[in-house]
Structure 1
């Protein structure tokens, strides 16, 4: 079968590889029909991640079940599903606590399209087929009346932003939210949508990129253009600040923009081993910093409910839609978000 492969540097190629097979009676096979590009995918294919190739690419997937093991009860061939990017069993102690990002039944950080972070090649969604272990737990049924390109992002980025922002707005209903945009291009847009969906009184978006500012405005945010590199004074103080830029400058701006006893939600870690954090300022002002990988399978149902209700629109973040077969040419497009869809699929 075909598999889009990150070879190394900025080289991406279609490889012919053996098709996955059912390995356990709890497995399913899924044909990806719509795949969205995660912000990390762009960093990888531009050679900026430091992750060594080769490995399969793509991890935000909606598709069709083609085969199931004998123990799979909830899904059958032909069903349309969303596939969370993290592998989890749903039965271990961590999964039962909702920590599906750290399932003990598989190697730590097991994920599609990210072999270097877990050491196991689970394949990628930019392939003809993927194997889904623990299918009854892992798979999420595609809601009727919604496009696959709309829901594919829930496999990672859309659920990541939604769950992070919703967590704080549950504690602080109606709060104003500041989103600092940057390299995490689409995650900042999802954060805007999530905040408005969860009832934020106002969302302010700061960035130094005109394209992202325009998209943020179209999604309902008040926008402020920043100087290059985000070297600026805060535009105000906010109870909740979302740092989606993931730079030293953005985290400093985030902390200086948080009101006393406010929140800073950092959406990414760092590609460096260590990051400077102004603990003295944080302590003196009373800032809470939250950072961590999404528990995507545990959090997806809540996010999906807002999509089904028409409150959350991942499809509005897509800035380019291309044929699945052209993924090798389009995956490095610097546009905010790309969707790869098979012919005849929305």
Structure 2
């Protein structure tokens, strides 16, 4: 079979590899239908995030089930499914608590398509076939009527945005939301703005300096404001930091209202001293860390299926899978490759 390999910054290639086979009764084999880039992928390809290659590429997408083991009950060949990027067994303590990104049955951070960061043995989704180790626990059937291209990023980036606004809006219905957008997590920030609108925020402000992302935010129903991440636009009960860097992180904390909730969805490569006394005085709840994607996927799909949320404006380019290398190297906001 063919699979896409990432050798390092600016270096991608297709290679021949042995086809995976079912070697346990709980497994499934899937083939890609619509694959998406993660916000981390352009950073790796452009040398902004150090992740040594070579490794099988890709961890976001919708696939078709090709074969299942004898113990698999929830999916069958022919089903279209969202493939969570993290490996989770569904039965250990963390998985049962919804913390599927920290599944205790496998090494920490086990995931598809992230090389040494997620373990090299899982393979990537940008391949003719991928083996899913825990099919019943991991795979989520695509509801009828949803275009796979629309939710190709439901493996990771859309759930990442969902966790940054959904629990908070459930606790503070109708609250105002601020998203500090930027290059660190461009699609996650945009998804967060759109989800805030879909989930009933009375106001969803998207702050960024990039005209393309500001235009997308407007299409998602958010209020775009042009400005740097540190620009003060008020205090908000819910703040999402997706810009990256220490200045944006501190600005997000300082934009959080009394008893508010600030979530950083960007990967901060350097330690940052936070204004702890300010946070203490305002009773600021701050959260960072990898999203536990699997539990959020059904909620995301329900929002799309019922017409409350349309993530498609975030996808800025769509190409055939066989022609995707050049498009990947160009680094669009969100690339989807179809098969």
Establish whether TM, by shorter chain, passes 0.5: yes
Q: Which residue of 1 aligns with 2:138?
A: 138
Q: Which residue of 2 aligns with 1:269?
A: 267
Q: Which residue of 1 aligns with 2:56?
A: 56
The 1-side partners of 2:201 and 2:165 are apart by: 10
What is the CA distance between 1:116 and its match in structure 2?
Answer: 1.4
Q: Are the aligned partners of 1:163 and 1:303 in contact in 2 as well (CA < 8 Å)?
A: no
Give the SS at the match of 2:149.
helix
**Residues paired across the two proteins, number:** 338
Deviates more, 1:115-124 or 1:150-159: 115-124
**Offset from partner CA, 1:237-296 (integer Å, 9 cap, x none):** 111111011211111211221122222111123123x22322222223322111121111
The 2-side partners of 1:118 and 1:189 are apart by: 25
Q: Which residue of 1 aligns with 2:12?
A: 12
Q: Does 1:297 align with 2:330?
A: no
The 2-side partners of 1:281 and 1:332 are apart by: 42
Aligned-residue CA RMSD in angstroms? 1.3
Q: Which runs of 4+ in 1 moved over 4 A?
A: none
Q: Are the aligned partners of 1:85 and 1:112 in contact in 2 as well (CA < 8 Å)?
A: yes
Give the SS at the match of 1:283.
helix
Q: Are the aligned partners of 1:57 and 1:123 in contact in 2 as well (CA < 8 Å)?
A: yes
The 2-side partners of 1:277 and 1:121 are apart by: 37
Q: Are the aligned partners of 2:166 and 2:196 in contact in 1 as well (CA < 8 Å)?
A: yes
Q: Are the aligned partners of 1:58 and 1:125 in contact in 2 as well (CA < 8 Å)?
A: yes
Structure 2 unaligned blocks of 5 or more: none
Q: Which residue of 2 aligns with 1:148?
A: 148
What is the CA distance between 1:231 and its match in structure 2?
Answer: 4.5
Give the SS at the match of 1:271.
coil
Give the SS at the match of 1:22.
coil
Q: Are the aligned partners of 1:4 and 1:56 in contact in 2 as well (CA < 8 Å)?
A: yes
What is the CA distance between 1:10 and its match in structure 2?
Answer: 2.1
The 2-side partners of 1:149 and 1:276 are apart by: 40
Q: Are the aligned partners of 2:165 and 2:192 in contact in 1 as well (CA < 8 Å)?
A: yes
Q: Which residue of 2 aligns with 1:42?
A: 42
326, 329, 333: which is aligned to 1:336?
Answer: 333
What is the CA distance between 1:313 and its match in structure 2?
Answer: 1.4
**Offset from partner CA, 1:317-344 (integer Å, 9 cap, x none):** 11111111112111132321111012xx
Change (3 A) 1:271 1:340: same
The 1-side partners of 2:20 and 2:50 are apart by: 27
Q: Which residue of 2 aligns with 1:72?
A: 72
The 1-side partners of 2:33 and 2:246 are apart by: 38
Q: Are the aligned partners of 2:6 and 2:12 in contact in 1 as well (CA < 8 Å)?
A: yes
The alignment's TM-score, normalised by the length of structure 1, stands at: 0.94
The 1-side partners of 2:303 and 2:327 are apart by: 29
Q: Are the aligned partners of 2:216 and 2:313 in contact in 1 as well (CA < 8 Å)?
A: no
The alignment's TM-score, normalised by the length of structure 2, stands at: 0.96
